[in-house]
Amino acid sequence: MIIKKEFTGLCLLPLLIVIIAATAPVSGYYDGYAFYATANDSSVKQLILNVYVDEAGKALVTGYVEQEDIDSFRFLKTSEYLYENETNQLYALTNALTWKSGDNWGLNFTTYAYYSEYHTIFYLPGDVKLGRIECSEGLDYFVSASNESIVIDMQGYDVESPMTTIEYRQPLRETGGEGTGFEYLLPLTAAISVLLAIALIIAIVKMKRRGDNRDEKADAVKKGEIEITSEMARVMETLTDRERTIVNALIKHNGAMTQADLRYETEIPKSSLSGILRTLERRKIIRKKEWGRTNVIELSEWFVRKKGV
């Protein structure tokens, strides 16, 4: 089931998601999952988001949000968004997170809820000059550059109403003559045309990639005798690269492997693997059983039996 908030431009949201998903940097920022491990998994409450900000201040917000926390995202009241109940995935397009004065910009991201695990990554245009970065008590961050983006990785645990404020300066573009200084912004209709053209090109490229990958997936399914339904594929698209690697390895081996064999096949470090498995278990994608000195990791019945639409 999908909750929709209807806006005139909602049809552009899937296109922008495709565009940014195809061009966003591939990062290993989820290596710190083990840092968040708690003794009582039932008490874990997660927020895992990516926030992509473009040169005009519009932000695409995607990631894992628990359903009861949707109302705590006040910016959604004036935003275009989709929320998927089964996977707890949020996709939002908004202008409400940023403001500007001349070439000075600011971004404020606040949620009014408690989280035992908090992980939000902000991607800014690569030519900005970072200024002040402030965050709530219990949050830590580090800054890096990746694929022509400035990346601010914000992490924390046991935080109440986490807040992040980022100030940055963005160089004004040359206008080629006198003007207000904002002529570099395309008119809305032209911008839509550009987005459509880019989306079409990327869609063709991604279709080709998917075609190339179908044979590999078919081989894995044949060996493992597990059919990847459209619903399973849709859930897998919401996973991080390492989470998807683990799920694909389990599919290849008929849905079950020891944790030791899984670590050997995926080459994921032991400390990171444990944390990622906890996340997949909480999302009901896998289940873990003790077996001697190791664990057997199995794909859950909920995940394997998801029917295609």
Region 275-294: what's the mean pLDDT? 85
Instruction: Give me the pLDDT at residue 151, please.
Output: 93
* Residue in the structure block whose two tokens are 């498995």: 277
| Strongest mean pLDDT among 14-28, 190-204, 230-244 | 230-244
pLDDT in tens, 171-218: 876 544 444 333 333 444 444 445 555 555 655 555 555 555 444 444
Instruction: Give me the pLDDT at residue 178, please.
Output: 46
| Strongest mean pLDDT among 147-151, 224-228, 232-236, 241-245 | 241-245
Q: Which two tokens stand for residue 55?
A: 């040169």
Coil, strand or helix: which one is 55?
Answer: coil
Percent with pLDDT over 90 in the chain: 23
CA distance 196 to 43: 44
Coil, strand or helix: which one is 30?
Answer: helix
* β-pair partners for 14: none
Q: Which two tokens stand for residue 138?
A: 């219990």
Q: Which two tokens stand for residue 209?
A: 């990639």
Q: 154 near 138, Cβ under 8 Å?
A: no
Q: 12 near 93, Cβ under 8 Å?
A: yes
Integer angstrom CA distances of residue 148 from 5, 27, 96, 126, 127: 32, 13, 24, 5, 8
Region 71-98: what's the mean pLDDT? 88
* β-pair partners for 149: 125, 146
Give yes or no for residue 44 having a pLDDT over 60: yes
Which residue in 262, 238, 263, 260 sits closest to 252, CA to CA? Answer: 262
Instruction: Give me the pLDDT at residue 16, please.
Output: 53
Global confidence as pTM: 0.51
Q: Which ranges constitute the DSSP H helices of the chain?
A: 12-23, 188-224, 230-236, 241-252, 259-266, 270-282, 301-304
Domains of the chain as residue ranges with CATH: 2-184 (no CATH), 225-304 (1.10.10.10)
pLDDT confidence bin for 130, thresholds 50/70/90: very high
Q: 135 near 154, Cβ under 8 Å?
A: yes
CA distance 241 to 192: 30
Region 281-286: what's the mean pLDDT? 90
CA distance 51 to 258: 35
Burial of 92 (0-12, 13-18, 19+ CB in 10 A): buried
Q: Name which of 151-160, 196-205, 247-256, 297-306 the model is least confident about.
A: 196-205
